[in-house]
Structures are given as structure tokens and as C-alpha cells.
A and B are shown apart, each in its own frame.
Chain A
């Protein structure tokens, strides 16, 4: 009996035990990984993770159970999930699991070159990349390259049946530099679906340059200045600060600062943000979400107005609208263990018409902020974060790197103080965004 038949049988058994709706999400991921620590290959790793997560619903109450491996005793998984569902109280807000529908076939999500990479080739790749770093003051080069291929499928008691497969290449580089007195570090990384979408050589060279440049970093001062946000820092502001705050579950429960802002104008007109689960080669591009709803394109912010929330089947049922195909699992879309949640897919910011030079000229004196490890408080919409990569702008020019400096704003205030949006978009993980210039941002430092 194949895996799919195995799952269908489990669904029948769950229905017989009293479940009213059931789904099974199966994942099979094979990954290889090479870790370079302080210029040397240190770990070569191969993993194979297979498992099934079963969700049973009784009077709206959800029970979960899962098992790893293939020789799974599905009867035990089914029995536990149904038992779990029966413990909960009835939940009239649950309406139904997704119904069968046709699935899109997005492009650029599978690459034979990645799928066929051997550990030896990955090691060669890492070795050749280390050799690219030949600068003075570089102290250690750390790289992680991981390639993986996955298959996943969803089956439910409404007759949904979907299968998808794909590849990933993830790359992380972390470089430290020293000059006797100062220490500095810089990192970069990305996740792509095909080899042609990543230029690891440029990334590692640039990271090394940034690490060396960081040796000259200096603190800024405590003041309000115009800032340009560009690159990975926008993951915190746009993906975690805006798209994630439009999670319908958080909104319905009143846990997001966006709770009452649907159809409200929250920003300048120039801002348009789209959640697009079908971007060619997007890291979160899929045929369907973890519940089997087709991935789609959803306009979140249009001309400054909040136009839509991100839904899964539960929240869309509760709001009597359609799911936007944003169901995910707590450990991400390839997790069969965790609960079904809601998460943005690929987040796209529409470009404006400013060049970076024009934006710097507009700023005159302020900061160019490229990265932070912080995330906003979704309940309040406030972000107070350390600049982990950024530059001081003086006379409209990018000068020394900045250190020991924090910036803070409320996202709604920030969105209303946007002065300019760049015309060139860059990709960072699941965000495709141009730089954004905002006025009067509070920064704090030593003085």
C-alpha cells in the first residue's frame, strides 16, 4: 500500500471514530549540508526526515497527532488525534476544511542541479568560496550551505488531494575581522529555489568587505533623523511588522495593532504591499498551503489602505470569507509536527521612483540602516531595535559604519512618515522590496 492510500485509510478510520473532518499532511525532506567554521570544513551532514501529521476535528475542536518515520502505526496516530479533539469544547467558529480545487503550477521551484548536488560537490563549492576571501584583517570565515529537496502532500476528508515538490539552497556567511584593537563582524544569507538565483561569490566578497569596513564603526548620537531602510532590516518592518500583523487570527483575537484597521489608511499613498504565494522561484512559493488551499496573490496594503488580512480555513470560516492560502505550521511549511497557523508567503513591496542617490541626497544627515536582529511588538506596533548593519549619512554621502546605536518607531507613525520609496527592488529571504526613506526616526546612542 502506498503512502497516500495509507493516509486515506487513516482518514476513514478517524471518521469512523467520530471525527467530522480530518486532514493528513505528509512531508519527506532530504538535505545535505556543509559547515565551514573558521575557514575549514568542519561538518558534512545528510539528513532524511519523513513524517505525517494528522488533524481530527470534532464539533470544531481540533486534535493533532503526528509520527515520524515510515513504519508508522497509523491507528495509534488516529486514535490519539480523535481523542485530543474530543477533549476540547465545541467551537462553532470552525466551519470546514478546504474543498477540492485546482492547483496552480508556479515556476522556478524545482532545480535539477540542486536536487542532484552531492556532499562532495557542496564541499568543493564551500572550499572555492573560502578562497575568494583574501583581505587583510579578516579573522574568520564561517559558511553554511545546505541543499534540500522535498515532497509534501495533503489529503483531507472533503476529498482534497494535493502533491508538491521542490528544492532549496540556503546559504549563510558570517565573517569576523580584527585589527588589533577593534573587532567587527558581518553576515549575509539567502534562501533560493534554483542555483541561478544566487550569487554566493558576490555575497561572500561583499560580506568580507563589510566586516573590514565595520572596524571603523562609530556610535551615532541620541536624536531624531531621516533614515533609509534597505535590505534585511525591512524583513523586520515589512514582513514581521506589517504582513505578520495582518494575520487574521491575531486580528480576530485583538492581539495585533492592526486589529481595527482593515480598510483604514495607515500609510502614505506610495506604499503597496502584496503577499504573493506564486512568485517565480519564491522561497515560500507552493502549489497549496499546508491545508490544501491554493496559494494566491493577496493585496495587503494598497495606496496606503489596509485591503486584506492573511487567512487560513479556520479564520476565513469565522470571518465568512475565503482563505488566502496562508495556512502554515508552527515550524514552517515543511513541518508536519506543529499546529496549523497563519504566515505570510513571499512579501512584495511595489517600487517607487527614487534612486538610492536621490534618497541619500534627500536625507543629507541621517542613517542608512541595513539590518537588525530585532522584531517589532505586534500587539503595540512598536519597534525598538539595534542597528546590526548600517551607515552614517553625511552631506548626502554614505560615510562610516555605525555601531552601538538603536532606532525606534511605531510602525503606523513610520508608515505615515515615509518620504520616498526606491525604484530598485532586492530580494532578502521571502521579501522583495526597494529601499524606503522615512523622516524623523528616533535613534539613541552613547551621547
Chain B
């Protein structure tokens, strides 16, 4: 971050302190990147990303004033600071339980240096990656009628100062590729999708190459052409790693976010130390795992998290916190404050969230299943954290009889109650794997990782056409 912006932030932090705020922070966010999208073999979008802005927060008597601006002149920043102060002051008259955030004064810095720096690679090379994915998808089958490939690189630079003497600077490059294939036969259209990415540079594309992503997307689309509607009703269900990862994020992780707990919107309120799942289930949120898409060495409040065990062998051990929720609940921040860009307030978010591996082999999970379903991949999911009712949509679902995969089904919705489902986990496999994703909350999108091994669960409700 250029010194101009650092000086600007420090100068106006001093101004806010002189006004008598309880707490304040200023955060400068700079985003630089490139997004390429090729559709049906032609460039659909090649876009350079370039933005910078500043966010100001003031706290007075438990009330936040927040402003942001993309106009970074001293005059505009002063205006934004004064307005944040006025907003906090005005709100503070309404009264509410007051709190004082706390953190140690420190000077933190974290910079992820990519092994292969994407900025040194020509745009043409990156365009070629998309074109190659297109070629691979179409080569899988004549029934592939439409394709989409994307390449997205982003460098996030954040500088933050707060009134508790914390200065933090963080630079994280990330990169993700994705492929979507549409297969069509006899009026039936099916879609396959896959993605791969993480934090770092071009080296991520050597861990798993984009062609492999393209193949998976295309094969799924073709395979789904012969799929039927899923069997409606209650079933024992084996979830693959991808789906179990999305499940733990959606159905459980969100309910552990302490802001939701404090707002009365979580089924896990007053459940700390209590049994929330089978003893086979251990769940972690770990922002320190380098290379994963949800890597977050320093959060948007300047806090460096060290990883949180949320559920330990079925017992709820911790919520996820930012400065506010930790102050209100008498603990310390877990480094889970995140904001999308400069115009959003930092709220409690997950980073890399996963179910720890168990000791079953994947084959055993299936062989042992007399009658049930095997659900693979995830389209999306959501949960009502207050009631604990969730739905997630898988990509493929196989009917299983006596351990054998039979009919393939599509568009299956899996539903249940969070606590029931975790209690109903019968077996956890030893094949933990991770998947990059984008998570939305309160209109803000952030990069995350979901992870899990294969998991077998009783009594999952499957919604479908048959």
C-alpha cells in the first residue's frame, strides 16, 4: 500500500480520537485483478479490475457509525470520518449495552508471494487457458452443445489502523478457474460445473490443471443426460466430500457465527459445551491453511486468527468471533471479521471450514449401505439458522442397494434439521479434501473453502419429482 494512504489513515484516526470516540478504525482496500470469460469458444469478457476505497468505523456507547468512499482525497476522507463520527454519536443516544473492543497494540504484516507471479504472465497466456478448457470440454462428447470457461485472478491489499494501536497490512493474491458444460440430447439439457483455485499464483494450476477441471464439468453434464428424477422421501445418505463440505458450512458453520448467535438467530445459542452431533464429528475453521481459497492471515479488523475447533467429537466448543462479538461474549476474537471490499462493514464470516477426517474407508461407507442414496457434488445450499432447517442441492444422486450404485438421479434437494443431521452421522471417512467457494451473507460475498471427507447420515429428506 502506498505511503500516501497510510499517512491519510493515520492522520484521520488521530482526528477521530480527538473527538472522543470509544473505538475507531480506518481500512484502505485496493483490489487489482483480471477476469476472463470465454463462452462457446469466444471471448465473452476480459475485464481488468482496479479499485481503491476507504472504510471508516467509529464506536460510541455500543453503536457503530460506518462510512466509506471511493474518492480518496484528504477532503473526502475527512468528510467520511466526520460523518462516521456523527452517525455513531447520533445512534449512541438510543442506548444499548455498551462494549469495548480489545486487542493488543501491534504492527502486523503478511504478504503472500506467489511462486509464479500472475502479473508477469501475458494476458494472452491466460486467455489460452480458457480456450484450452473449452477445447477439452467439447472433446469429451458430441452432446456437449455449450461451454463456459473462466479465469479470475485478484490481488487484495488491505491497510488498517485502529485506535488500540494496531497497524496491519496484508496482501493476498488468489486465482481460480472454472468450467461449465451443457450437454443436450433429445430435448434434455444438463449442466456440469467444476472449479479449482486457492490463494497464491500460477503454481495453483500445477496442483490441478485446468484441463482436469474442464473434463470433470463435461463428464458430469454428459452423465446427467441419462439421470432420472430423485426418489422423494427419507433416506440414509452418503455425502461425498464436496457436498459434506458445503453441508457443514451452510447447515452448521453459519449458526456458529457469533453475530448471528447474539442476534437471536442461531439454533446454537446457549449450546456451548453441549452435545450437538455424533462423537464422530469434529469441525474446524482454520484461516491459517496456506494455499486454500479461504486463507486469511489477518482479518478485516487486523486480527490474526490461529484456527478454531468449533465442534470437538460432537461437543460445541466455540463460536466464531470478531472484535464486537468477542467483547460482548467475554472472549477474544478468532480473526473471523471479513468485509467485501471497502463499502461493507466487517461481519463474522467463515474462512476454511471443514469436518475432520474419520477412520472409515470410502468403499466401506457404501458397501455397508443396504438401501439409501449416494449424493455427489453441490449446486448450492442455505439454512435458516434460527430454526436449523437447511436445504442443499447436489449435482448427482445415485440410488444405492446392497452397497451397489444403481440409478443416477438429478436435481435432488436434501433437507433436514442441522442438529438432527449431525446427531445422525453414522460414519466419517478418511478422505478429507477441500473445495474453493464463494459465500454470501448480508449481501456480502467472500472467498472461502469448504472441506470434508465422505460422510454417512441417517434420515435425510430428499425432495424430487418422483
Question: Do A and B actually bind?
Answer: yes
Chain A residues within 8 Å of B, Cβ to Cβ: 37-38, 40-51, 61-71, 76-77, 80-81, 83-85, 87-89, 91, 93, 119-120, 123, 127, 139-140, 142, 174, 176, 183-185, 222, 253-257, 259-260, 337-339, 373-374, 377, 379-380, 382, 384-386, 388, 403-404, 406-410, 442, 444-447
**Contacts A41-B63, A254-B182 given; does A48 touch B69 at CB 8 Å:** yes
Q: Considering residues B229, B264, B415, B461, which has the most beta carbons from chain A within 10 angstroms of its beta carbon?
A: B264
Q: Are A174 and B265 in contact (CB under 8 A)?
A: yes
For B184-195 the 0/1 string (1 means CB < 8 A from A) is 100111110000
For the complex, give the distance between the alpha carbons of A65 and B46 in Å.
Answer: 8
Find residues 115-129 in chain B having any chain A CB closer than 8 Å to their own CB.
123-124, 127
B351 → chain A, closest Cβ, in Å?
Answer: 22
The verdict on B71 contacting chain A, using a C-beta distance below 8 Å, is yes
Contacts of B416 on A, CB cut-off 8 Å? 404
For the complex, give the distance between the alpha carbons of A64 and B33 in Å.
Answer: 12
Partner of A382, one of B42, B52, B64, B411: B411
**Contacts A254-B145, A384-B413 given; does A88 touch B43 at CB 8 Å:** yes
> For the side of the interface on B, what is the size category?
35 or more
The verdict on B44 contacting chain A, using a C-beta distance below 8 Å, is yes
Q: Are A85 and B63 in contact (CB under 8 A)?
A: no
Give me the 8 closest cross-chain CB pairs, A-B, nearest first. A406-B463, A140-B264, A88-B43, A444-B232, A64-B47, A84-B46, A68-B51, A44-B87
Q: Are B391 and A406 in contact (CB under 8 A)?
A: yes
The verdict on B387 contacting chain A, using a C-beta distance below 8 Å, is yes
Contacts of B39 on A, CB cut-off 8 Å? 253
For the complex, give the distance between the alpha carbons of A84 and B34 in Å.
Answer: 10
Q: Are A253 and B461 in contact (CB under 8 A)?
A: no
**Contacts A45-B87, A139-B264 given; does A409 touch B67 at CB 8 Å:** no
Partner of B46, one of A64, A253, A338, A403: A64
Partner of A66, one of B47, B65, B388, B393: B47
Whose C-beta in chain A lies nearest to the C-beta of B69? Answer: A48
Q: Are B48 and A184 in contact (CB under 8 A)?
A: no
Q: Are B88 and A142 in contact (CB under 8 A)?
A: no
Whose C-beta in chain A lies nearest to the C-beta of B459? Answer: A446
Partner of B70, one of A51, A61, A123: A51
A77-B50, A119-B86, A380-B188 given. 6 additional CB < 8 A pairs?
Answer: A44-B91, A49-B70, A62-B45, A65-B50, A85-B46, A384-B230
B60 → chain A, closest Cβ, in Å?
Answer: 11
For B361-400 the 0/1 string (1 means CB < 8 A from A) is 0000000000000000001001010111101010000000
Whose C-beta in chain B lies nearest to the C-beta of A60? Answer: B42
Q: Are B465 and A408 in contact (CB under 8 A)?
A: yes
Q: Considering residues A44, A47, A184, which has the most beta carbons from chain B within 10 angstroms of its beta carbon?
A: A44
Q: Are B70 and A260 in contact (CB under 8 A)?
A: no
Q: Are A253 and B64 in contact (CB under 8 A)?
A: no
Contacts of B464 on A, CB cut-off 8 Å? 384, 408, 442, 444
**Contacts A65-B48, A120-B90 given; does A379 touch B417 at CB 8 Å:** no
The verdict on B430 contacting chain A, using a C-beta distance below 8 Å, is no
The verdict on B299 contacting chain A, using a C-beta distance below 8 Å, is no
**Contacts A38-B263, A38-B264, A446-B234 given; does A255 touch B127 at CB 8 Å:** no
Q: Are B70 and A50 in contact (CB under 8 A)?
A: yes
For the complex, give the distance between the alpha carbons of A189 and B14 in Å.
Answer: 40
For the complex, give the distance between the alpha carbons of A141 and B234 in Å.
Answer: 34
Q: Are B187 and A260 in contact (CB under 8 A)?
A: yes
For the complex, give the distance between the alpha carbons of A132 and B6 in Å.
Answer: 46
Contacts of A447 on B, CB cut-off 8 Å? 234
Q: Considering residues A70, A71, A386, which has the most beta carbons from chain B within 10 angstroms of its beta carbon?
A: A386
Q: Are B232 and A64 in contact (CB under 8 A)?
A: no
Partner of A49, one of B182, B188, B343: B343
Contacts of A49 on B, CB cut-off 8 Å? 53, 68, 70, 343
Q: Are B387 and A185 in contact (CB under 8 A)?
A: yes
Q: Are A89 and B42 in contact (CB under 8 A)?
A: yes
Q: Are A444 and B461 in contact (CB under 8 A)?
A: yes
Q: Are A41 and B68 in contact (CB under 8 A)?
A: no
Q: Are B410 and A380 in contact (CB under 8 A)?
A: yes
17 contacts across the A-B interface (CB closer than 8 A): A41-B63, A41-B94, A44-B64, A44-B90, A68-B50, A87-B43, A89-B42, A91-B43, A119-B86, A123-B91, A185-B387, A253-B40, A380-B188, A380-B410, A403-B389, A442-B465, A442-B466
Q: Considering residues A63, A77, A410, which has the most beta carbons from chain B within 10 angstroms of its beta carbon?
A: A63
The verdict on B174 contacting chain A, using a C-beta distance below 8 Å, is no
Contacts of A183 on B, CB cut-off 8 Å? 267, 386-388
Q: Are A384 and B463 in contact (CB under 8 A)?
A: yes
